[in-house]
Amino acid sequence: MESLKETTVETANKLGLLPEEFDKICTLLGRKPNFNELSIYSVMWSEHCSYKNSITWLKTLPREGPHMLAKAGEENAGLVDIGDNLACAFKIESHNHPSAIEPYQGAATGVGGINRDIFTMGARPIAQLNSLRFGNLNNERTKMLMRGVVKGIGDYGNAFGVPTVGGEVYFEDCYNTNILVNAMSVGIVEHGKTVKAISEGEGNNVYIVGSATGKDGIHGATFASGDLHEDSHEDLPSVQVGDPFQEKLLLEATLEVIATGAVVGMQDMGAAGIICSTSEMSAKGNHGMIIHLDKVPTRQKNMEPWEILLSESQERMLIVAEKGKEHLINAVFEKWDLNCTCIGEVVNGQQLKFYMNETLVADVNAESLVLGGGAPVYKRDYKEPAYFKQNKLFNINKVEVPSDLITVAKQLTSHPNICSRRWVYTQYDSMVGTINMSTNKPSDAAIVNIKNSKKALAVSVDCNARYVFSDPEQGCAIAVAEAARNIVCTGGEPSAVTNCLNFGNPYNPEVYWQFVHSIKGMTKACEKFQTPVTGGNVSFYNQSKIGNEDVPVYPTPTIGMIGIISDKNNAATLSFSNSGDQIFLIGTSKNCIASSQYLVSTHGINHSPAPEFNLDEEYDVQQLIKQLIKAGCVQSVHDVSDGGLFISLLESAIINSLGFEINSDEDIRKDAFLFGESQSRVVVSVSEEQMDEFISLVADSGVDFTNLGVVTHGDIIIDEEKFGNISEYSKLYQEKLESVMAY
């Protein structure tokens, strides 16, 4: 058998391993590895599986909080207590490289994989979100990728039967080749009904359940740990193929089999397939396994041992069954007409021994393969990029205020990064399961009903990558703050965070500097809002080789956050309700246009600092917003973010075809007042009946507030100048993306 021959450092290099890593493998084994074993180490020590270049800094993130039921890295997903004997399992992960090569299947299997992480723990997925980044929308390739990704997410999620309730889409030239596709899933489980990803108990049988194993996705983890290049299309076999209907069966079977009490441990097979599940479960349980690869159900004949071990075929699980209860597991999967095959057993020690037709084809130590065990850990050098100094040189006084701000307002309204994402979200089934409470009552965060409870979940994904590029520490802190602000503006209390950290090549000191400083910003913001990081995903190598130059994407540390709305009847909406209601700005407007969409699209200036942001100021604003919503003295609540105050007012007005009349602040440039993106600001509308209590609460808070003006029947008037009617802005806002994406 060819795969049993000794390998060389040259072979290791082809599999993405460093020479020193090959030497370490030889030392661990006490010999040179065969090809099966080298393939095992190549995927398990890849960046995608081992986090070898990031774990040092990830450990600095806050990981403990009063509601935490599982610390980061302990389980497949984060787990937090939400009261009423319920817990929320949630996680976000990337599927960037596969989606850039084959957008439909890449995005679809990203959705499938993140949902499996949730229900493998015993939680039923109830909501999905996504965070997407594409290149210039004028490019036909961008349109092709976007159509494929959105259809892949929609087709898989719709068939699987879990609503997509929220997300974000941005367009920047830096994503022209390397798009980002981040998928988040949220699930609910009763306390005590979770299952761990662990293997223990000598003599317990090991089962593979679900779909048969094929050649799709082989070395997918290695593929995800390298740069995209001109020949990346040749890596198409590294892209998995999904079957949402099979996953739906697997979901129901998994939850049913957990209820039998026959499951010792269970883990889904995502990146690195069988080898990842067997090694991680064994290392966690301090046991080993004997696995017979010839017993694994396969879709192709004559698969090599390493192909079976590394295949990332979808809709599969590894289960360790309690001895004597195997019949219970078999009965459940027979009922759901799914494969359920015993492929081995748990043994004492930590060795993983893989056999093919009675021949030992790989013999490796479980602990040596995994994060926190023998996998390498690096702390890379980093240095401040030259562009960062250029950002600091920005001077607002050198930027002229346009004479025609009405035209600017209309251009921003129809900008792809500002306009409605209706073309995207109408392809998703947002209402299946009757849990989405935001459809007829839009809000800054998605509101997800918790059945048989007065509570609801508020969920959000946020990251303005331009801010992070401008200043990674400040920009990432803003991403956390905005996620928290969105949850607070719905009436929720921020609870915990999952993250998807998308960066370029970690061996590039300037990219690593972006990563390190993003972690620092995330840490200080999460500590301030008491939102511990429950886990997530690191996706390096999001860069493209254009000629001889490596071009990374903007650093994009996507924040997924959940919060708890204690009484769902008091959830807030962002939409203006009545003409005549007063409009107030909570927080302080700043003379700032830094990193705004306005600065980039109107003036063509791409280098500036992050928008003005003060963490203490942000915290105080959020505390006041909580009070106002709880007291019931606001009609609407909407944060100021992309596009500035004007866009926030417009988004609140459009829902009910209302308008607004406001006055600007004479101490602030009018373009900064309307389109600047300084943080820690929230727009609220207040009825006459609510006014006295509202004024009393805001006056006592010490937070700055301004009476901007009044809600109108439809006209938009600023400083007594008519900017137009809501109908024309609504058309610009709603139809832009649809017109661009039309065939």
Number of H helices and E strands in the chain, helices first, is 25, 27
* Burial class of residue 140 in the structure, from the number of CB atoms within 10 Å of its CB (0-12 exposed, 13-18 middle, 19+ buried): exposed
CA distance linking residue 660 with residue 685, whole number of Å: 11
Side chain identity, residue 275: I
SS3 126: strand
Are the beta carbons of 297 and 348 closer than 8 angstroms? no
Pairing of strands 533-539, 493-502: parallel
- State the first-to-last Cα distance of the chain, in angstroms, to the nearest integer: 52
How many angstroms separate the CA atoms of 352 and 526, rounded? 39
**Measured between alpha carbons, how far is 350 from 356 in angstroms, rounded to an integer?**
20
95 is catalytic: yes
Q: Which residue spans within 573-640 are E strands per DSSP?
A: 582-586, 636-639
Which tokens in the block code for residue 188? Answer: 């609910």
Give the C-alpha separation, 648 to 598, whole Å: 14
- Calculate the CA dihedral of residues 539, 286, 376, 184 and round it to 10 degrees: 10
Report whether 145 contacts 179 (CB < 8 A).
yes
Q: How far apart are CA 111 and CA 346, in angstroms?
A: 31
What angle do the packed helices 244-259 and 103-119 form, to 10 degrees? Answer: 10
DSSP 34: B
Cβ neighbours for 694, distance < 8 A, ≥ 6 positions apart: 584, 628, 633, 634, 686
Q: Do 526 and 480 touch, CB atoms closer than 8 A?
A: yes
Which residue in 48, 67, 287, 638 is the catalytic one? 48
Are the C-beta atoms of 741 and 420 separated by less than 8 Å?
Answer: no
* Helix, strand, coil % over all residues of the chain, rounded to 5: 40, 25, 35
- How many whole angstroms separate alpha carbon 621 and alpha carbon 389? 31
Contact yes or no for 683/653 (Cβ under 8 A): no
- Choose the catalytic residue: 67, 95, 97, 219: 95
Q: CA-CA distance, 512 to 517, in Å (whole number)? A: 9
Do 716 and 729 meet the contact criterion of CB atoms below 8 Å apart?
A: yes
Q: Which residues in 570-607 are b (16+ Cβ under 10 Å) and which e?
A: ebbbbbbeeeebbbbbbbbbbbbbbbbbbbbbbbebbb
Exposure string over 675-694, b if 16+ CB within 10 A, otherwise e: bbbbbbbbbbbbbeebeeeb
**Edge-to-edge strand order for the sheet containing 705-712?**
636-639, 682-686, 582-586, 705-712, 659-662, 715-718, 721-725
**Residues with Cβ within 8 Å of residue 533, at least 6 apart in sequence:** 61, 62, 63, 72, 496, 497, 498, 499, 522, 526
The pair of three-digit structure tokens given for residue 192, joined into one six-digit string: 């005590």
Cα(65)–Cα(561) distance, rounded to whole angstroms? 14
Q: How many CB atoms lie within 10 A of CB 451?
A: 9
Q: How far apart are CA 658 and CA 680, in angstroms?
A: 25
Residues acting as catalytic residues: 48, 95
